[in-house]
Structure 1
Amino acid sequence: MTDAEWAAVRLLLPVPAWFQRQGGRPEGCHRQLWDAIRYLVAGGFSWRAVPADFPDWGRVYAFFRRWREHGLIAEFRDRLRGTVREREGREAEPMAGIIDA
């Protein structure tokens, strides 16, 4: 992940309570967690196949679940789709969809 990509993603992530001195345990680097999720999605690997370079698979999955439950994954998808569409000269939100079975 480039620094520019991380700057865009970081703004959407929740600020940990421990960072605001409200207690709790340090969560680690969200950038490493996000990179691990991207690695798994790009390669189509299972959660347990996270390489040793990343945090433990259980930790990565727990953060993914938490972010998904809070709507952050959908927010990332929607923003990315809007950005790509605007770069192509189209409206950010699609007007219709096509489903092919």
Structure 2
Amino acid sequence: MAVLDVLSPEIKSQLVLELTQLVSDDVVPRILAQQEIDFFKAKEAANYLNVSYDSFKRIRKQGLIIGFLLKGTSIRRYRKSELDDYLKESEERL
């Protein structure tokens, strides 16, 4: 017997409402905030790497950072993990 089976329909309904509110108030904003941290626009990526935008464009043209296109658009984003990998490789080359 599942735990929820012992609850009345009214209590189940209240539980669903409270969980929905909790998810929308707490969980969703945290997921969105994390997502915003994990993906950068080109200028944000340049700032994260502490290089000028022009330097970032050169790095990109050299294929050292690739990024990805948002589906169905020409908008490019860069994963934080890719930028971190580039920084680590740059340090190793020194």
Instruction: Give me the TM-score of the superposition, normalised by structure 1.
Output: 0.28
Larger helix fraction of residues: 2
Q: Say which one has the larger Rg.
A: 2
Larger proportion of strand: 2
The structure, 1 or 2, with the larger RCO (C-alpha pairs under 8 Å, 6+ apart) is 2
TM-score by length of 2: 0.29
